């Protein structure tokens, strides 16, 4: 049980500290814990890290897609909402900069 908790902790920290513009922090942290702490070779450690990520990603996706459909949303609508939020944040920052003068 302690070994599993160690892998989970490293994966969690890795997911918080993502690699810039690439992602993969959780996978890298999992590979490191497997190779450096448990002495697993690089190839099986990499495969295990990717499988762990896929299981977590698939579980969230399988739960999230029906909820999106139920709420009447689509990936395109989510993208549109995100762009609208970015524009609103940019306008708010510009207004704040003008009022500071």
Cβ neighbors of 24 (< 8 A, separation 6 or more) are 18
Average pLDDT in the 58-84 region? 89
77 confidence band (pLDDT: 50, 70, 90): very high
Average pLDDT in the 36-65 region? 91
Q: Which of 40, 11, 16 is nearest to 28 (CA)?
A: 11
Average pLDDT in the 48-72 region? 88
d(CA 34, CA 27): 11
Average pLDDT across the chain, whole number: 87
Per-residue pLDDT for 25 more than 70? yes
d(CA 38, CA 2): 12
Query: What pLDDT is stored for residue 96 in this prediction?
Result: 79
58 confidence band (pLDDT: 50, 70, 90): confident
Place of tokens 């709420």: 71
Full-model pTM: 0.61
Q: Which residue has the higher pLDDT, 16 or 67?
A: 67
């Amino acid at each position: 049980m302690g070994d599993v908790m160690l892998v989970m902790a490293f994966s969690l920290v890795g997911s918080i500290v993502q690699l810039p513009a690439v992602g993969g922090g959780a996978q890298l942290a999992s590979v490191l814990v497997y190779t450096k702490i448990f002495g697993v070779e690089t190839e099986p450690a990499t495969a295990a890290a990717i499988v762990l990520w896929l299981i977590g990603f698939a579980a969230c996706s399988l739960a999230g897609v029906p909820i999106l459909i139920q709420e009447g949303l689509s990936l395109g609508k989510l993208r549109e909402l995100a762009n609208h939020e970015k524009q609103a944040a940019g306008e708010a920052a510009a207004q704040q900069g003008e009022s500071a003068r």
